[in-house]
Structure 1
Amino acid sequence: EEISQQLHKAQETAVHEQATLPAKALAASYEVAHLVAKAQKPHTIAESLILPAAIAMTLAMHGEKIASALKQIPLSNDTVSKRIIEIANDMKCQIIERVKNCRFSLQLDESTDVTSVAQLLVFVRYSYEGKLHEDMLFCSPMEGRCTSSDIFNCLNGWMEDAGLQWANCLSICTDGAAAMLGKNKGLKAKVLSVAPHAKFTHCIIHKEALPSKTLEPELNNVLQTAIKMVNFIKSRPLNTRLFTLLCQEMGSSHESLLFHSEVRSLSRGKVRTFLSDANSAFAHHLTDSEWIARLAYLSCIFDKLNMLNLSLQGLNTNILTLSDKVNAFTKKLQRWAVRAESGDFEMFSELHDFLEEEDVNVNSSKASINVHLQSLLEKFHQYFPTGNVENYDWIRQPFTSCSSNDLSSELEDALLELSSDRTMQTSFFWVCVKQEPPDLGKKALEMLLPFASTYLCEVSFSAMGVIKTKQRNRLSLEKSLITAVASLSPRLTKILSEAQAQVSH
């Protein structure tokens, strides 16, 4: 009888394992599909690589019995595509549920994919459970000429279908194109007709790039010649290979850069010889000390501009923090201009080292450098006029700022009360961003919610280029892109409860 009970128990365990295995295989299928989408890989990789690799590893470490169970996981191309669509739909539902009853800001941009279809990307920033979140709202293909009317109709139609209210939209960030910011026929005019309170912000990264394009004629000639040198080498496979060997002989850590701070007089002579042997008309420039001094300056100033550009990128940025970075760079420009006027180029390391080693008279180059620094400074003042950012110090330091010109008398009184309440010091930010903040918190959100750049759109365009290729040109882009760039996690328990477990075959 005891043996009979043991056999019966073993049978029950086997039946239970057999019944639960398809459900586990289904869950594993969704997990793998999510990973494939996040990695921006072709959907076929799950069946052709991931599953065989998982079986091989499990077989080596745990044996045939456990490895054979993995074969039941459904991971065909169509299955993975279906899973990604379901995951993306769940993420969209989560975002809409969060945004529906709160204030939000948008950033949007349009670009063309590999099939020449214009894709409109829209991201949203909103407050949820005491924190600011930013997620992709939707990606939609555009038809026709992609005019401001087309963009607005697409955006407005999507918001109506999703049940979002224009009254809750605080701001919209764009790249500053005429179709976006036109006063009469642009997207801005059309949005203001339905949301007159909405503010439009010009992407600060695009604005920063505009002053960088201004170059004095002498410096521009140097830059164009350097570009031609690079093209002369890179456009010919033989020259590229020979130049790589030259860099290896010089012991350079870079083998594909024409000029670098480590390339001194010896290596410059070798490069000049290389260009002469290749019958290049550019060789004589490497004997011109003033030309090299200007090139060294361009290398330094572009490096500093690139560092500023990189510092303006990233997630969860806002107008206040990015404005501080631009203001800091503008002040540096002022200091650099003063020091350059006196002949001190220590802040430009490559130029400074070159001048010291070569003992070059840089008077003629100094004039063009000073003119460029002043021009750059004027452009930064033009594109980034001195604003009233200090008026919002109470947002970052509410307990040290007791007044602000931006606040009404009633809100200023509220700020005085807050600055005197030591108990509130640890919870002020939560008060600012929770779903039903006080009036002072609402005012703070007007500065914290708006996007300062279209960084998320630009990053997603890069992902779009990886996801939708010539080999995958019929792919449903929106679902794959949302799943790839989303910061949310899919509610797999909910999805699985609505799905039917099917064993792969």
Structure 2
Amino acid sequence: MSHDIKDQVIAAIKKSGHFSLQLDESTDVSDDAQLMTYVRYQGPEDMEEEFLFCRPLQTRTTGKNLFMKVVPSFKEEGLLWRQCYSVCCDGAPVMLGARQGFIARVKQENPSVVVVHCLLHQNTLNYSWVRNPLHIEAEDLPDEIANISKLQEELIEIQNDATSHYDFKRLKESLSSFWIKVHKEKPNLGGEALKTLIPFATTFLCEAGFSALTVIKTKYRNHLQPEDDLRCILSTKSPRFEELTKTIQCQESH
């Protein structure tokens, strides 16, 4: 079941084209270091957040060791660093060290990756147009946005479109849903907005994952490799039981 859930998540990531990564490390009941990772990507109607993997760190925790734990997983699933739009982690030196930290190694693979390690580090002023696009002057869009004239044109168009006003009111609880819908008709404006919405804001999901790990891996089950169990518990996706049953071969009686 875990493998089927993972296959669904990987397929969804690849269909989205870009994803954000959230990761953190902690020790379990056996005092083994574990690396927890989540992904966030654009789904059909909203942003989706899913457990990716939890792997033990056999050696001491360094930026290099963390990176070398992620690399094989990416290669195994066919994920590319250039598709990774942002990385969210804590502020520990092992993550943010200028030369040897995990992020420094990620930037060698993808120099444009956005790094988020605290919600307060996000430039909320530049993102105000994403939160309230119907009541902002087109001239107030951030100057650093590429193709600014085209975005201003598309912004004015949705501001004068009754359906967009209705959708914004209806989907206001989920800005991602609104902008995914906009993206289908206004790819430049919608795409730029979705860039600001795809990063994780905190490492909360990893912290929740470690809480689940303490329940699964106890002193009585201290040799457990928890990834498959965690995926079944933490994923929002369900196994495709009909597909799974088709793969089970009927055994002949003897």
Question: What CA distance in whole angstroms lies between the structure 2 residues aligned with 1:399 and 1:203?
Answer: 28
1:193-223 CA-to-partner distances (Å, cap 9, x unmatched) read 111111111144xxxxxxxxxxxxxxxxxxx
| Contact preservation (8 Å) 2:213, 2:230 | yes
| Contact preservation (8 Å) 1:431, 1:441 | no
Question: Which residue of structure 2 aligns with residue 498 of structure 1?
Answer: 247
Question: What CA distance in whole angstroms lies between the structure 1 residues aligned with 2:24 and 2:123?
Answer: 28
After TM superposition, list the pairs within 5 Å mapping 1:43-122 onto structure 2. 87-101=1-15, 102-122=17-37
Aligned pair partner of 2:45 in 102, 113, 130: 130
Question: Which residue of structure 1 aligns with residue 142 of structure 2?
Answer: 405
Question: What CA distance in whole angstroms lies between the structure 1 residues aligned with 2:9 and 2:215?
Answer: 24
Question: Which residue of structure 2 aligns with residue 461 of structure 1?
Answer: 210
Change (3 A) 1:433 1:144: same
| Contact preservation (8 Å) 1:100, 1:165 | no
Aligned pair partner of 1:441 in 159, 166, 190: 190
Question: What CA distance in whole angstroms lies between the structure 1 residues aligned with 2:57 and 2:166?
Answer: 47
- DSSP 3-state at the match of 2:75: helix
Paired residue type of 2:134: F
| Contact preservation (8 Å) 2:85, 2:113 | yes
Aligned pair partner of 2:125 in 384, 390, 395: 390
Q: Shift of the alpha carbon at 1:501?
A: 6.1
Q: Shift of the alpha carbon at 1:189?
A: 0.9
Question: What CA distance in whole angstroms lies between the structure 2 residues aligned with 1:135 and 1:433?
Answer: 18
| Contact preservation (8 Å) 2:47, 2:177 | no
Give the alignment's TM-score, normalised by structure 1: 0.44
1:159 aligns to 2:74 (yes or no): yes
Question: What CA distance in whole angstroms lies between the structure 2 residues aligned with 1:388 and 1:459?
Answer: 26
Question: Which residue of structure 2 aligns with residue 423 of structure 1?
Answer: 163
| Contact preservation (8 Å) 2:37, 2:54 | yes
Change (3 A) 1:477 1:397: same
Question: What CA distance in whole angstroms lies between the structure 2 residues aligned with 1:146 and 1:90?
Answer: 30
Question: Which residue of structure 1 aligns with residue 84 of structure 2?
Answer: 169
Question: What CA distance in whole angstroms lies between the structure 2 residues aligned with 1:103 and 1:119?
Answer: 25
Q: Shift of the alpha carbon at 1:405?
A: 2.2
| Contact preservation (8 Å) 1:431, 1:438 | no
Change (3 A) 1:388 1:482: closer
- DSSP 3-state at the match of 2:135: coil
Q: Shift of the alpha carbon at 1:500?
A: 4.3
Paired residue type of 1:414: E
Question: What CA distance in whole angstroms lies between the structure 1 residues aligned with 2:60 and 2:124?
Answer: 38
After TM superposition, list the pairs within 5 Å mapping 1:311-326 onto structure 2. none
Q: Shift of the alpha carbon at 1:99?
A: 0.3
- DSSP 3-state at the match of 1:149: helix
Question: What CA distance in whole angstroms lies between the structure 2 residues aligned with 1:442 and 1:147?
Answer: 35
Give the alignment's TM-score, normalised by structure 2: 0.85
Aligned length: 236
Question: What CA distance in whole angstroms lies between the structure 1 residues aligned with 2:199 and 2:21?
Answer: 7
1:145-195 CA-to-partner distances (Å, cap 9, x unmatched) read 121011111112211110112122111100111010112211111101111
- DSSP 3-state at the match of 1:93: helix
Change (3 A) 1:130 1:149: same
Change (3 A) 1:467 1:388: closer
Question: What CA distance in whole angstroms lies between the structure 2 residues aligned with 1:431 and 1:160?
Answer: 33
Question: Which residue of structure 1 aligns with residue 172 of structure 2?
Answer: none
Q: Please list every run of 5 or more consecutive structure 1 residues that lacks an aligned counterpart in the other structure.
A: 1-86, 205-383
Question: What CA distance in whole angstroms lies between the structure 2 residues aligned with 1:486 and 1:405?
Answer: 36
Q: Shift of the alpha carbon at 1:409?
A: 3.0
Question: Which residue of structure 2 aligns with residue 315 of structure 1?
Answer: none
- DSSP 3-state at the match of 1:100: helix
Paired residue type of 2:215: V
Paired residue type of 2:228: K
Query: What fraction of aligned residue pairs are identical, expressed as a percent?
Result: 40
- DSSP 3-state at the match of 1:461: helix
Structure showing the higher strand proportion among its residues: 2
| Contact preservation (8 Å) 1:103, 1:169 | yes
Question: What CA distance in whole angstroms lies between the structure 2 residues aligned with 1:195 and 1:432?
Answer: 26
- DSSP 3-state at the match of 1:391: coil
| Contact preservation (8 Å) 1:402, 1:419 | no
Question: What CA distance in whole angstroms lies between the structure 2 residues aligned with 1:183 and 1:203?
Answer: 17
Aligned pair partner of 1:191 in 106, 109, 112: 106
CA RMSD of aligned residues (A): 2.1
Q: Please list every run of 5 or more consecutive structure 2 residues that lacks an aligned counterpart in the other structure.
A: 169-175
Aligned pair partner of 1:178 in 65, 68, 93: 93
Question: What CA distance in whole angstroms lies between the structure 1 residues aligned with 2:26 and 2:124?
Answer: 32
Q: Shift of the alpha carbon at 1:120?
A: 0.5
Question: Which residue of structure 1 aligns with residue 179 of structure 2?
Answer: 432
| Contact preservation (8 Å) 1:115, 1:473 | yes
| Contact preservation (8 Å) 2:150, 2:188 | no
Q: Shift of the alpha carbon at 1:128?
A: 1.2
1:19-50 CA-to-partner distances (Å, cap 9, x unmatched) read xxxxxxxxxxxxxxxxxxxxxxxxxxxxxxxx
